[in-house]
């Protein structure tokens, strides 16, 4: 057994394993009863070692369990930037201003200003601007 056999798996790895089982079921290598039994075993599995035997008798390059790298080894991508002015609070303030003053033109003017002022907030590496890309 490899070192990754004792790593705990999550729902994403279980879904991948069930997807591979589904491909074998669709190809006629598993009957419905075997497929259901193996799927139950996948959902009950906690480690790669518990899943690996379910694929031992199935052919093909994808017969092995799809193993993901630990989170620390995943490539990173930047998060989407945040905006300075969230839309809902700005809209609520504009509605309140219209109700207080009676000037309905404040809503389109305020929304136009919000769109002009809305810009991404730069994030530093220290504030956590990177997160793992799932599936890489």
Question: What predicted TM-score, i.e. pTM, was given to this entire model?
Answer: 0.45
Mean pLDDT by 10 residues, the chain (136 residues): 74 90 90 93 91 85 45 54 67 83 82 72 52 53
pLDDT tens-digit readout, 63-95: 445 544 444 444 555 656 555 667 777 778 888
Would you say 119 and 84 are in contact if contact means Cβ atoms under 8 Å apart?
Answer: yes
Q: Please give the pLDDT value at position 35.
A: 92
Contacts for 78 with CB less than 8 Å, ≥ 6 apart: 123, 129, 130
Would you say 21 and 54 are in contact if contact means Cβ atoms under 8 Å apart?
Answer: yes
Domain ranges of the chain: 3-68, 77-132
Q: Please give the pLDDT value at position 131.
A: 53
Return the half-sphere exposure (C-beta side, CA atoms, 13 A cut-off) of residue 28: 0
Q: Please give the pLDDT value at position 93.
A: 81
């Amino acid at each position: 057994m490899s070192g990754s056999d004792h790593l705990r798996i999550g729902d994403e790895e279980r879904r991948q394993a069930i997807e591979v089982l589904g491909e074998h079921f669709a190809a006629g290598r598993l009957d419905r009863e075997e497929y259901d039994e193996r799927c139950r075993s996948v959902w009950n599995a906690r480690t790669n070692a518990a899943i690996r035997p379910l694929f031992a008798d199935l052919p093909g390059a994808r017969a092995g369990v799809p193993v993901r790298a630990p989170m620390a080894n995943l490539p990173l991508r930047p998060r989407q930037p945040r905006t300075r002015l969230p839309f809902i609070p700005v809209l609520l303030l504009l509605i309140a201003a219209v109700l207080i003053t009676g000037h309905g033109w404040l809503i389109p003017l305020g929304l136009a200003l919000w769109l002009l002022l809305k810009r991404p907030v730069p994030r530093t590496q220290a504030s956590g601007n990177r997160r793992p890309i799932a599936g890489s």
